[in-house]
Amino acid sequence: MGKYYLLYEMMINSLNDDDVFDGLNKSLLMLKSYLNTASINLYKKDKRGIYVQKNGDTSVDHLSRTISGIVNKTYNLTEHKKIFKLDLNQIKSLNNMYLMSLETDESKYILSINNSKNPIDSNFLHMIQDTLLVILKRAEIHERNMKAINMDLLTELENRNSYEKRIQNINDSEGELVFAIFDLFRLKYVNDNYSHSLGDEYIKKAAKILKKYWPSSVKNIVDGVEKDIKTGHTVYRTGGDEFILLTNSEQIEMTKVKAMLAAEEVSMFDLGIDGLPLGLNYGVVKHDWSSSIKETYEQADKAMSENKERMYETFELERRR
């Protein structure tokens, strides 16, 4: 058992990495090497009830699709039995295939161990199951804590802390960078005259619109596996009524069009207050790498303020200074 406990320590210590899920992947690769198995993959159950591959090393398209299919066809049985060995000796690439159910307070997972050179002792499998549960729980706690540091909990957008870190490390390797500032029209009026809970609803609805137009990632099929693909867009909530967009994956003209459409959608919100004009003010500029981010921010803020002035004039409202 001494060798196993060394493996346990190595797997647990892999979580010391800054990217906890990269650490989780390293722990799975350690397990793969220890078992001398062809592939090992972790699947997480999503909101649709489908197990989607999150970590592992299957790279052959048809094999990845086959294993994913087996996991999703048998998950009811796997969840019930907790550890399930499939008799697939007739398929050489799937000899000695094991499926292991792992359930934390937050999520359900299935680990597939494929084409092990030798049958795996059941006691060892149970120890691996316990080890992985410890790792997954720690990973989830770490992810929650990191979200609290870098995420605005009301909107689930990245927050000012995350924005400040981004601009400290930004450089011209990003290529064309478009910068936009958004401001919720008359949020303070809603908070002061109705309620902060209604103001929060206004904020959350606007954030949902911004995420729709500039999602941070999209689902795509890569090597037969559904994965989250980064888009190059990041929306931050940097203040009570202020949002900032940084994107290096679209032309400024497209950003302006999308900002106009987002503003139109926000203006149609129904907060249950008749006659209250709502909206989203915005300023969009292309960052010039010979200038500072502060200068670009000031240009975008000026454009946003001009946009806001026009809205006050349109609705014949007096702007509070």
pLDDT of residue 148: 82
Give me the amino acid identity at 195. S
Domains of the chain by range and CATH? Answer: 2-151 (3.30.450.80), 153-314 (3.30.70.270)
Q: What percent of the chain has pLDDT over 70?
A: 89
Q: For residue 7, give Cα distances in angstroms to 10, 28, 134.
A: 5, 11, 14
pLDDT of residue 96: 78
Higher pLDDT, 274 or 111: 111
Least confident segment among 89-93, 282-286, 312-316: 89-93
The residues near 157 (Cβ < 8 Å, ≥ 6 apart) are 151, 207, 210, 211, 235, 236, 237, 243
Contact between 312 and 318 under an 8 Å Cβ cutoff? The reply is: yes
pLDDT of residue 320: 59
pLDDT of residue 237: 97
Structure confidence at residue 285 as a pLDDT band (50, 70, 90): very high
Least confident segment among 11-20, 91-100, 133-142, 247-256: 11-20
What count of other Cβ atoms lies within 10 Å of the Cβ of residue 273?
Answer: 13
pLDDT of residue 92: 62
pLDDT of residue 118: 74
What mean pLDDT is predicted for residues 194-214? 96
What mean pLDDT is predicted for residues 10-24? 72
What mean pLDDT is predicted for residues 190-202? 95
pLDDT of residue 221: 73
pLDDT of residue 22: 74
Closest CA to 304 of 210, 181, 185, 214: 181
Query: What are the tens digits of pLDDT across the range 129-183?
Result: 998 998 888 888 887 887 788 999 899 999 999 999 999 999 988 899 999 999 9
pLDDT of residue 61: 60
Instruction: Burial-class residue 52 by CB neighbours within 10 Å (0-12, 13-18, 19+).
Output: middle
pLDDT of residue 141: 84
Closest CA to 237 of 160, 318, 138, 127: 160
Structure confidence at residue 85 as a pLDDT band (50, 70, 90): confident
pLDDT of residue 309: 94
Average pLDDT of the chain to the nearest whole number? 88
Higher pLDDT, 274 or 309: 309
What mean pLDDT is predicted for residues 107-113? 94
Structure confidence at residue 185 as a pLDDT band (50, 70, 90): very high
Least confident segment among 28-42, 164-178, 241-255, 263-277: 28-42
Residues paired with 83 in a beta bridge:
100
Structure confidence at residue 80 as a pLDDT band (50, 70, 90): very high
pLDDT of residue 91: 62
pLDDT of residue 57: 57
Structure confidence at residue 56 as a pLDDT band (50, 70, 90): low
The residues near 86 (Cβ < 8 Å, ≥ 6 apart) are 70, 74, 94, 97, 98, 99
Least confident segment among 5-9, 19-23, 107-111: 19-23
